[in-house]
Amino acid sequence: MPHIEFYGVTKRYPDGTEAVKAMDLAIADGEFMVFVGPSGCGKTTALRMIAGLEEITTGEIWIGGKCVNHLLPRDRDIAMVFQNYALYPHMTIRDNMGFALKLARASRMEIRRRVNETAELLGLTEQLDRKPTQLSGGQRQRVAIGRAIIHDPQAFLMDEPLSNLDAKLRVQMRVELARLQADLGTTTVFVTHDQTEAMTLGSRVAVMRDGVIQQVDSPQQLYDEPANLFVAGFIGSPPMNFLPARLVGERIELPFGGVDLPRGIRSQLAAAVPVPAPLIAGIRPEHIDDPAIAQPRPGSLHFRTRVDVVESMGSERYLYFGAPSHLTGRAAADVLEAADPAGKGQQHVVARVGTVSWASAGKEIELVLDPAGIKLFDPATGERLLRNESSYSPASQGP
């Protein structure tokens, strides 16, 4: 049974701005749902409407089988963790964590017991008699989480709780949050603009843009089967490469050359788009490799290019090289803005290769593109064409 449900939920401000537009979503009991997207996409507004901190313009939100539109925040039985910790500086950690129980008129013995249990769960036992200013950022965030979980709410709502932490501590806290949520089994809604947090934490992820959910799926499905250009470009680091492409007969023509279509999708694609047709091809960096260290698939596209920049990441290297950015169509505007901000008709394409590659900046190299990794998008709408085309392998399908 869904635990949190959105039915056509819209948030419209007095000036006419719609922060969330007709949102429909069902979050299962015990699920870790992540809202991710750029600033201003509506993810925090959606979270605040669950909490009752923002009024709903139209639609309904249900929690635990009850419509909560007209319930005050304190009556919704949810707990919220904020970005800035929101701890009382004059109180000890023990008092901060037990404050909600004190307001609920729990006995002193009950408060002490539950504070001690929660502190032990979060590794805060030795800090209980300290003040927030005496703790590190990670410890203060654990206190904020402890204050949220101590009264066993129906759901946890977390608004970018890791954004104030340094990179190493964020990784540590991601692991702790994932473990804690798995242990407690409490429905959790987590807001972030960081796609790495979304991919590593969420059992499902809702990608938002301009107040609209673009796709809801597991992290791996978002990466493997993006629904449109926005999701494909937002999920993944380094992001997906986008190149102008054209369907010509039974081939896809790219700036580096042409590749034959797998037999299983030729007729489907020909029926979906006119021939010849301009398209946008999306290619993940791992599908462009150095043939000197990788075994290319049959039918792979070999090409030569000049490497502009090499980034060494320790376990792998990223090679950046130039490619045309003459993408056409209304949906290509955002792709062009990110890939070619100067409007010079060129963009950087990135390949992910192993550390033993001899590629170096300023030198020409042969690379190989795996056609099985090509995703095709409609330049007019941005929608993905043939969502399952990646399941076809040129090696197994033949020419």
pLDDT at 328 over 60: no
Q: Which residue has the higher pLDDT, 147 or 71?
A: 71
Share of the chain above pLDDT 70, in %: 87
- pLDDT average, residue stretch 247-275: 75
Number of H helices, E strands in the chain: 11, 21
Q: Write down the residue that tokens 């130039």 correspond to.
A: 322
Between the ranges 167-181, 199-213, 310-324, where is the mean pLDDT highest?
Answer: 199-213
Share of the chain above pLDDT 90, in %: 51
pLDDT at 322 over 80: yes
Between the ranges 85-99, 243-257, 262-276, where is the mean pLDDT highest?
Answer: 85-99
Q: Which residue has the higher pLDDT, 145 or 235?
A: 235
Measure the N-to-C terminal CA separation of the chain; round to a whole number of Å: 47
pLDDT at 376 over 60: yes
Q: What's 357's DSSP letter?
A: -
From the list 262, 264, 242, 265, the residue with the least C-alpha distance to 378 is 242
Residue 329 — very low, low, confident or very high, per pLDDT cuts 50/70/90? Answer: low
pLDDT at 174 over 60: yes
Residue 340 — very low, low, confident or very high, per pLDDT cuts 50/70/90? Answer: very low
What are the residue ranges spanned by the domains of the chain?
2-230, 240-397
pTM for the model: 0.85
- pLDDT average, residue stretch 332-338: 55
Q: Which residue has the higher pLDDT, 274 or 58?
A: 58
pLDDT at 140 over 90: no
pLDDT at residue 204, rounded to an integer:
97
Is residue 374 within 8 A of residue 305, CB to CB? The reply is no
In whole angstroms, what separates CA 277 from the centre of its chain? Answer: 31
pLDDT at 396 over 60: no
Residue 325 — very low, low, confident or very high, per pLDDT cuts 50/70/90? Answer: low
The mean predicted confidence, pLDDT, of the chain is 86
pLDDT at 349 over 60: yes
Q: Which residue has the higher pLDDT, 220 or 278?
A: 220
Give just the sign of the alpha carbon dihedral 151, 154, 159, 163.
positive
- pLDDT average, residue stretch 248-263: 82
pLDDT at residue 275, rounded to an integer:
63
Lowest mean pLDDT among 23-37, 104-118, 272-286, 311-325: 272-286
- pLDDT average, residue stretch 159-181: 85
Indicate the CATH number for domain 240-397: 2.40.50.140
Please tell us whether the domain made up of 2-230 is placed in CATH 3.40.50.300.
Answer: yes
pLDDT at residue 169, rounded to an integer:
79
Is residue 323 within 8 A of residue 308, CB to CB? The reply is no
